[in-house]
Copies of this chain bind each other. A is one copy, B any other.
């Protein structure tokens, strides 16, 4: 098992890619994104439609259309993407899948996992969509393969 669903992995990588490509104010097409992050084009299209509906990214149809990100959204945290796609069970769910797990009715791993979940949550809350742009431009970071 991975931390995120495949859908969420594609979503995060795609948003990074769109951010990177639109710092100059441009728009980027679905083919370009799918190639840029090595994902199935039509599946990614569905994912981006969803993120677009939820306001995380923007799009325009027609010639010279495509996806882009509004400047303010560059400072939104990655947790917004994760919550939109995978929900918040990664941050709040019980590690052993118990619905009623809590401080007063803990599973054996409750405290240990609380710590880990908090760490993941904090990481995704303090990391923004736009913060890797310059490193991505410089080719120091990878979004594919």
Contact = CB atoms under 8 A, between A and B. Distances in A.
Would you call the interface of chain A mostly helix, strand, loop, or mixed? loop
A121 B113 CA distance: 12
Contact of A89 (B2, B132, B145): B2
Quickly give the copy total for this chain. Answer: 2
A96 B13 contact: yes
Given A6-B97, A116-B120, A143 B1 contact: no
Contacts of A105: 142
B1 A97 contact: no
Interface in A104-125: 105-109, 112-113, 115-116, 119-120, 123
A108 to B, nearest CB: 4
Could you say which of A4, A12, A109, A132 has the most chain B C-beta atoms within 10 Å of its C-beta? A109
